[in-house]
Structure 1
Amino acid sequence: MFKKLSLSTRFLLILLFIIFLFIGSLTFLLYFYLKDSLIKSSFEKMQMVLTQIDALGRYVKDDLRPVMLKTLKAHGYKDAFILEAMSTTHVRKRVISYFRETFPEVEFERVSFNPINPENAFQEFHNNLLSKITKDLPKEKWQGLFKWQKEEYVVIVKPIYAEKTCLLCHGAINSAPQSLVKLYNLKKDFPWKEGDLMGIELIKYPIREATLEVKNLVFSLFILSLISAVFFLLTLEGVFYTLILKPLKRMNEHFKAIKGRQIQLNTKLSLQRTDEIGELIESFNELSHHLYFSQRALQENLKTLETLFESITYPIVLLNKDCQPEIFNQAFLESPYKKCQRELLNRVFSEKKEFKEIIEDGEGRIFEISFYPVFNQEREVIKVVQTLADITEKKKMEERFILTEKMAAIGQLSAGLAHEINNPLSGILLMLNQLKKGNLRVEDRNLYLNLIEQGLLKIQRLLRDLLNFSRVTELNPEKSSINTLLENLLELSSYLLEKYQIKVIKSLDPELPEIIIDKEKMEQVFLNILLNALQAMENSQERVLTIRTFKQDNHILISFEDTGPGIPKEIASRIFEPFFTTKPPGKGTGLGLAVSLAIVEKHGGKIYLEERAKGANFIIELPIVN
């Protein structure tokens, strides 16, 4: 039947149907918009009321109650409790009762699982409400809609947590005011402890009446809009068919021909019109022409990308959640290591961030495997790009860099150690000469022997520290104290500090926990930074080195701050590059900070330069791993 009608009639009926749907959808959206506005307005007003009630409760708890307790105690009423002035719950509920004389729809309740006053116990409404929001109940508050007994409420719920002042009355009975105990005939202690969830306070407002008014208003608008649309369409039906429907039909046929690949995308639609439809057709022709060449360019770019993807020398693969490769390059096919790291892949999907991991293949090869998440519009991880780089030689080179810089640091320490050893040796020789003469008193002889022993022990300690520092080892983590390492470093470098006339200010946190580190390699990091600071302050009038340790979140921070000229901004970004140095030839290898960075990163930490107006401040962050 519908097909037998004329095209204009069918168009009119379809258009009427579309307008009906449009008006219906618009009305539907308007209803929800007005309802949402009503709810938001209700929340805002109730939040204001709740804020005022909370402010009153805080006043009673923090200001009025302490004064009342102090006053009552001063007048001999130590165990008295004035409910109307000292109970925040009673005051809140009493004030809201006055408020409801003007706004009876607003309801405020403050209930507890185990209240002093039985009237404030949980009811069926509260249990059902709490069962709905228990999983979503935040630390501060919850707000939302809640249906109860054919009524829909706008509800704001705040959890009540036990505070120290609350336990005065809600803790042990023998410590509560006895007048309150007698008033409510309390028999046993309350189970609360500080931080427990004692109950909730809520404010609610029924919205059924207001929602019904919104429905009636929106329905009236819907009927009026529909009637107006019908009359308007009947008037424009003929004009619309002549001016718009016919050219649109031609455009539709042209679209179908392009879609069916009967004509090319850049084929022009010829229709001689100078009005808006003509401009639309001309714009369509220009767009088709642009899309045609964009499509060709896209195809060429796709081929280029495929070539680049295949030319990447290290393995790269796109993995799905099942750890199955979807796209990969030739290097991945030829790679001997294709094992799926499912645990690491799942970590990307859960943490939604990129990360790198060092793995070994059991044959001495070391790989750096990197994961990069691919997100959809909802910021959910749908794929993961995995790359694999063989860093075996790089790791070996890093170890050689570390050894080279360690030897350079030992060279700088040698002069100081020679001086430190020479002084006690000279004293020992003098005392031995005196002992050979044999004319010393017994007291002097014993004194000389003790001094000789102390000098030899000092020499032994210095040589042991030097041997430990110069020893070549793999990463050997053990529980160590950062403060102790710094103290040992300062003792080992005491001659250099005196030579450069450096004043050392120590601010070491005594509560600093021990952490798992390779203490020998970490000593090398500290020594590299200390030597840099000494050389930086060589020509400074003020020579102060401030060493601090402190804990921040789950990290230990070590700060070396000097009073030298500082590091210019233009080279600050390059100071951790291997072989980059501003020192004269023979004064440094340019590896100190690069090696220090490598060692710290091996420990899962980081090292950086903090910008200063004067001097330099190097900060090392190490994770607290027990």
Structure 2
Amino acid sequence: MKDNITTTWLRAIDSFKDVPLDQLQWFIDRGTVLDLPSGNNLFSKGDQMPGPFVILSGKLMLSVPRGQELHEAGIFETGAIGGYLPFSRGKFAGVVADVVEDMTYLQLPLGEIDEMIRTQFDLTQALVHVMANRIREATAFEQQNEKMMALGKLSAGLAHELNNPAAAVVRGSVSLLQHLKAVPDVFRQVMSLGLDRTEADHLTDIILNALLRTAKPELSMMERSSLEDDLLDWLDDNNIAEAAEIAESLVDFGLGTEELDKLKKEFSATAFPAVLNFIKSNLITEKIVMDIHEASGRISDLVGAVKSFTHMDQGHGKQFADIHNGIRSTLKMLQFKIRNANVQVVENFDSTLPEINAMIGELNQVWTNLLDNALDAMEGQKNGKLVITTLRNKECVRVTISDNGPGIPEDVKSRIFDPFFTTKQIGKGTGLGLDVVMRIIKQHKGAVKVQSRPGQTDFIVEMPIGH
């Protein structure tokens, strides 16, 4: 097979088009032709990389391990160049290479690389260029994967956040429909009492005053239970049916036994139960409508947070904006994770800060990565506390994101901003989050630094106010 390989064939490969024929012949002479049937593994993650090779025929699939699964990263076909390349620091494989179609390839032994670097300049240069392209492609793949992982986390949390109010709207609408079916009967009961004008006006005033009361009571569970018990006792003493429903509705709108005593004096003993039932019916209707309004408002707020977070209704260039809006939108997007981890969030925001000139959508990626990392650091902690502080430092805005997690070990602190470096478990991070943070902040002519000790980690971002 080796006799069939020609310098002309190799030169047809785009990466080798400018390599002199004698250097391509050197590659052929020093190389070895190898065969590997489909289903075999060329190398796995952590294996020493084989020497530079060119695929003569067949296909090789590269996959990235993510947890217990392999995610396809690319296919190498005839003419593709792989293996360890000159000056690369990647001496050990970071991916898995499986043969998916019987493969024949020409491989240069690792021991020949030093001589190639000394004597075959153009060939070496061509392979270094392949390495540079490989790094760009790998970085782009990992950055895309990092974005998809971040999007997956946010989507899962957002779906959960939207599900609760959406379900509340559905439940409320069903309850309202059922309740409204009973309204005619309740109205018929009141009409049958033959109330005079004074009694009708008084009944209407009671309901309107309860519905228009702007300051609804904010009660603890114990306070609410105590008020309901008092009302239940009063209603039972007065032989009122459906006492539990009436008591619950009255407490919702701040009505107690004192109001019932006054109401009882205004109506006859015969009319009083029907009057209470009519009041209860109106209050329940109002309560259901209020619940639907609150739930739909939460949905609207979440949609607004998504819109603000993605900055999707505005251009993607720089513009002046309040930095706090992006931070608050990001916190809303992460609300499910915050609540699920029982983390206390403290906002020490300087409301006097001027707007900064920035690419808001990209800055939101910064806040997402830093806040998400802080939450991950406090995972499993009972007293997690996330503190966000903003202030002005001369002509810069400073944002400090602090957590009370275990801290960053000293031996890795200097590497946390390196691409692909991560302390997270496999499948939880790609090691590009802080690299993205650093790149975006530098793009804004700013700086990022970290201070960490057990129980306190601060990520400090500084950016010029206008640039």
Category of TM-score, reference length = shorter chain: 0.3 to 0.5
Q: Which has the greater radius of gyration? A: 1
- With CA pairs under 8 Å and 6+ residues apart, which has the higher RCO, 1 or 2? 2
TM-score, normalised to structure 1's length? 0.35
